[in-house]
Amino acid sequence: MKSIKRIALVAAISASLVTVMGGAANASMSAAPGSVFVAYEGPGFTGPSQVISECGVTNLRYRGSYKWYGFGQAGRMHNQINARGLVHFKLPAKGNAQQKTVVGWKSIFKVC
């Protein structure tokens, strides 16, 4: 009987930690000082990721999928490195965006 109670207690503590940790992550993203672009190596937001929060130009290491969290600054996406060439897509200053499949963008210019 003690082992059943112990298992139930461990499960309850684990569930609580997941809830608290998830809430902390969401709070930190919503309190972020600016927009954030997350590039993933694989499709469906899988594999290693590159988090871009700096203003200006950043070349993308991964192009398998992405998530955008718009907290005040827009993102301009380019199909060439160093934000050369035409802007192929604009990410909103306010609002989120994502794509689960591969993108052709090679760089972002975060407007601050």
**What pLDDT, in 10s, does the model give residues 51-89?**
999 999 999 999 999 999 999 999 999 999 999 999 999
Proportion of the chain above pLDDT 90, given as a percent? 71
Q: Across the chain, what does the average pLDDT equal?
A: 81
Domain ranges of the chain: 1-31, 34-110
Question: What is the reported pLDDT for 95?
Answer: 95
Euclidean distance between CA atoms 33 and 72, whole angstroms: 8
SS3 (DSSP) at 51: strand
Assign a CATH topology to domain 34-110.
Gamma-B Crystallin; domain 1 (2.60.20)
CA distance 49 to 30: 19
Q: What's the confidence (pLDDT) of residue 72?
A: 96
Better-scored residue on pLDDT, 38 or 26: 38
Average pLDDT over residues 22-32: 42
